[in-house]
A and B are shown apart, each in its own frame.
Chain A
Amino acid sequence: DIQMTQSPSSLSASVGDRVTITCRASQSVNNNLNWYQQRPGKAPKLLIYTASSLQSGVPSRFSGSGSGTDFTLTISSLQPEDFASYYCQQTYSIPFTFGPGTKVEIK
């Protein structure tokens, strides 16, 4: 199975900050890497698919990059509604494993 790691596991940031979350795969997943946002008590929401494609309706302050084993999710200017947990997921090979998540909290 492909193992996914994320860093940091949590971070504190202020509204307006630029935030970067890193995801690493234990082997290459090409660009088959997705990012989801999950607010407390809510279902996950797709933000980015195939590493860098922005899901319809998602604000442009979210962006993704990377390929192979190393990927990044960037929020260019953090907004109050962005305080949530973020998960990466590889869909290169079954099982489609998720990273452990990064919790973004208010500073």
Chain B
Amino acid sequence: EVQLVESGGGLVQPGGSLRLSCATSGFTFSNYWMSWVRQAPGKGLEWVAHIREDGSEKYYVDSVKGRLTISRDNAKNSLYLQMNSLRAEDTAVYYCARVGRWPYYYAMDVWGQGTTVTVSS
């Protein structure tokens, strides 16, 4: 069974840092692009970032560039999101998602259950 399990969320003060992890199983992790998507309380979905299979390409939404960094460890079948200089507007549930291979054309076909990040003093 394909599984994505996020961890690392919590309460952090503005300006603080947090590292999210996504442990995967049930598929060949190194064959897939991976994404982070977030959802602020009571709001819609926002694509945050995604990373190529080998980590050589990374893309971000403008609002997180320079503060959030996506990475992966294919030996550990894990995806990460390093979050620095956090702001109140980063408060959200963060989902790890697998990016489907052809013919999905970047549709996200498997999602984790999410981890909650709250930025507040």
State the A residues within 8 Å of B (CB).
Answer: 1, 32, 34, 36, 38, 42-46, 49-50, 53, 55, 87, 89, 91, 94-101
Contact = CB atoms under 8 A, between A and B. Distances in A.
Contacts of A36: 45, 108
Nearest to B50: A96
Interface stretch (B11-19, B22-30, B78-86, B110-118): B110-118
B44 A44 contact: no
Contacts of A89: 45, 47, 107
B1 to A, nearest CB: 13
A100 B44 contact: yes
A60 B31 CA distance: 29
B73 interface: no
Given A43-B111, A43-B112, A44-B111, A49 B100 contact: yes
A28 B60 CA distance: 21
Contact of A87 (B45, B62, B105, B109): B45
Interface residues of B, number: 23
B105 A96 contact: no
Given A32-B106, A44-B95, A49-B100, A95 B47 contact: yes
A98 B111 contact: no
Nearest to A87: B45
A50 B105 contact: yes
Contacts of B104: 49-50
A50 B59 contact: no
Contact of A96 (B62, B106, B109, B112): B106
A94 B49 CA distance: 9
B88 interface: no
Contacts of B45: 36, 38, 44, 87, 89, 98, 101
A32 B103 CA distance: 10
A98 B47 contact: yes
Contacts of B107: 34, 46, 49-50, 89, 91
